[in-house]
Amino acid sequence: MLDLLRARLAQGSRTTAYPDGPAALPERFRGRPVLDASRCADGCAACADACPTAAIRTDPLAIDLGACLFCPICTEACPEGAVAFTSDHRLATRARDDLVDGGEGPRLAAALEERMRRLFGRSLKLRHVAAGDCGGCAAELTALGNVVFDLGRFGVQFVASPRHADGIVVTGPVTPNMLAALRATWEAVPEPRIVIAVGACAISGGPFAPGDASLAGMPPDIPVDLFVPGCPPHPYTLLDGLLRLLGRLPEPAATALPNRGASQ
């Protein structure tokens, strides 16, 4: 027992200092992509042709972060290096259109309006709805509760019942069989309520949609308050988006985003 206590004391705190300190991301992490249209050869659409989710358009060059899988296929397909990934994990937005990035970076999520912030800013209960996800996004949501990210220190917790929740977090492309359950869960959350779409699937259908077995993400009649791109989003991306929504982080202009080193 004493050995265990000594080991635990030697380990110290494992909880990330984020947002007061930097996000400790691995070298291989692929975050916000950057585009350099000046490198594109006339008529070349190699990156767009290679993208498995048609997230890239070339006239003008732009990438839809809501469909991007953050895979390296576009960077491998482009011989000129017009597309590269940075290590910037900050991606969440309030509006779907803000995820379409022409090279200036996404317009990061603004905070909830004052009344909602007063209600949820210090205590937010969320119900997760897995609407046909592969398990990747769900695993990263689970990771938010571990000792490293410790989401509970910000007053955010996942609960079992929508009746006890202030909002829902949706993962997956929304399968026809889950549509009624998703809608019923959303309706069971007392108003005012918030909706968070996590991952390319919930935002756009990701690699699955559209198809017979899945929709193209969140149905349009359920308003989404926060879009968190990724496949899956890193817990730092989720944490950053949630804290921005709750007004716990400053709101930088899109153009003020630092380009913290490209990584393929």
The residue ranges that bind ligand SF4 (CB under 6 A) are 133-134, 136-137, 171-172, 199-201, 206-207, 231-232
Using an 8 Å Cβ cutoff, are 74 and 97 in contact? no
Task: Return the number of the residue (171 or 185) whose C-beta is nearest ligand SF4.
Answer: 171
Cβ-based nearer residue to ligand SF4, 44 or 179: 179
Nearest to 219 by CA among 191, 188, 185, 179: 179
Residue closest to ligand SF4 (Cβ): 136
Is 262 in contact with 86 (CB distance < 8 Å)? yes
By beta-carbon proximity to ligand SF4, the closer residue of 112 and 197 is: 197
Q: Which residue, 48 or 197, has its beta carbon nearer to ligand SF4?
A: 197
Return the residue matching tokens 């989003």. Answer: 233
Taking the complex as a whole, the smallest distance from the CB of residue 189 to ligand SF4 amounts, in Å, to: 22
| Smallest distance from ligand SF4 to CB 173, Å | 7
Residue among 109 and 137 whose Cβ is closer to ligand SF4: 137
Q: 196: which 2 tokens? A: 């968070």
- In whole angstroms, how close is the CB of 199 to ligand SF4 at the nearest point? 3
Buried b / exposed e along 188-197 (16+ C-beta atoms within 10 A): ebeeebbbbb
Query: Closest distance between ligand SF4 and the C-beta of residue 222, in Å?
Result: 17
Whether the ω angle into residue 60 lies within 30 degrees of 0, i.e. cis, is yes
**How far are the Cα atoms of 11, 190, 251, 264 from residue 90, in angstroms, in the given order?**
29, 30, 11, 18
Q: How far is the CB of 171 from ligand SF4 (least distance, A)?
A: 5
